[in-house]
Copies of this chain bind each other. A is one copy, B any other.
């Protein structure tokens, strides 16, 4: 360990040079014009893994953009950790908003600046450089390691999830380590132990078989757009409770410890409201904003349509209208079960005189690794040793869909040990990643593998 840390310190300049080489590859997976670049970043990563002494390093065909695999499985009786990341990046649009070139990285003011730094090349490379340091100094790793770096997290055909399901044996592991998230703040390291799932629907309301004149028919028929409003309103009460019967049945309640931890990191609510320019935050009564976002189901309408939306007035009763909604889910809600409850709700609450059709568009399972579980505590130990502070154990309101795939297909918890910051501008111009977090991440990973090695599996 000491030798590996010393190696990592000594090789910092070379690590940074290697990373810059990778960052120059324009692996924009959403842009078919740059398919070859995505393949080039896969090849670069596979070559790197082979070079540092990992076994079976290869570019894998997924049916979409290629992924990368390598392993080192010479620690019998020790846990097997799958290191996951993605070598593809977001498009650089709008290009004219960048102050440095997106694919010609610049180091300034303590940041590595360029597309794909924080999301996710610099982050996954902290693992590969840590592996190099261990293999070059000890010739061995403290636990079994598999590396799986995908190429279409940001775009493409989305074949990787199926690839994971189809190759569950190859990817089998005890836990997945993912560095693709951010800390609560620059002074508050954090580890994400839960992500919300989702169930997404489109609901279409059909009234008469043609548009009607509201003078000639107004008062005689249920107006499909009145019905859209009534249906939307039927999903949530004035206290923010979701009214779908049974929706809360499987919700794992927040513990007092979790609520205290969340409170310790939550940004003041009035500051969030001021930032968003809303009169106040709002949601389910009895919970703070961060509790609602991280630990409770939520209901959102994403789009509504129907009738006349131009300038001025038209007295039409539209034949049909519709809306899209989703429910964010928390452990242990199951999207497929929620889909049934929502369809039943719509059927029950559809106003008389129109018909409503519910289409379940997609679902994602919520993910939670108990905060007191051994892998999470091992990761927290590594963070504390590296950054001098016990990390906050937090959740996220959004999903990282592949974590649910790992949970389902590999039965492996995803340990979200990210080194990014919210200020990193991922998905935006001027993406960046703190140089200190790059080096700190490498050191932390060295300790992480050692801590994971001690977990009984």
Question: Chain A interface (Cβ within 8 Å of chain B)?
Answer: 196, 198, 200, 202, 207-210, 212-223, 225-226, 228-236, 238, 272, 276-284, 289-290, 292-293, 296-310, 312-318, 321, 323-324, 326, 328, 351-355, 361-362, 396-399
One of B297, B309, B396 near A305 (C-beta < 8 A): B309
One of B217, B229, B300 near A218 (C-beta < 8 A): B300
Asked if residues B236 and A277 are in contact (CB atoms below 8 Å), the reply is no
Shortest beta-carbon distance, A195 to chain B, in Å? 8
One of B215, B318, B361 near A397 (C-beta < 8 A): B215
Known contacts A208-B278, A219-B298; is-contact A326 B321 (Cβ 8 Å): no
Chain B residue at minimum C-beta to C-beta distance from A306: B304
Using Cβ atoms and an 8 Å threshold, which residues of chain B touch A228? Answer: 229, 232, 301, 304
One of B316, B326, B351 near A302 (C-beta < 8 A): B316
The 14 listed contacts between A and B (C-beta, < 8 Å) are A208-B278, A217-B293, A222-B278, A226-B299, A228-B304, A229-B231, A229-B323, A230-B232, A232-B233, A282-B353, A300-B315, A302-B317, A303-B307, A304-B309
Can you name 4 extra interface pairs (CB under 8 A) apart from A218-B397, A220-B289, A300-B317? A196-B215, A217-B293, A225-B303, A303-B310
Complexed CA–CA distance, A296 and B282 (Å): 38
Known contacts A216-B397, A361-B313; is-contact A232 B221 (Cβ 8 Å): no
The interface centre, meaning the residue of A230, A282, A351 with most chain B CB atoms within 10 A of its CB, is A282
As for how many copies of this chain the complex holds, the number is: 2
Asked if residues B293 and A302 are in contact (CB atoms below 8 Å), the reply is no
Complexed CA–CA distance, A354 and B273 (Å): 11
Which secondary structure dominates where chain A touches chain B? Answer: mixed
One of B209, B283, B305, B328 near A214 (C-beta < 8 A): B328
Complexed CA–CA distance, A313 and B219 (Å): 34
One of B218, B305, B314, B354 near A293 (C-beta < 8 A): B218
One of B207, B220, B233, B272 near A230 (C-beta < 8 A): B233
Asked if residues B281 and A220 are in contact (CB atoms below 8 Å), the reply is yes
Asked if residues A219 and B397 are in contact (CB atoms below 8 Å), the reply is yes
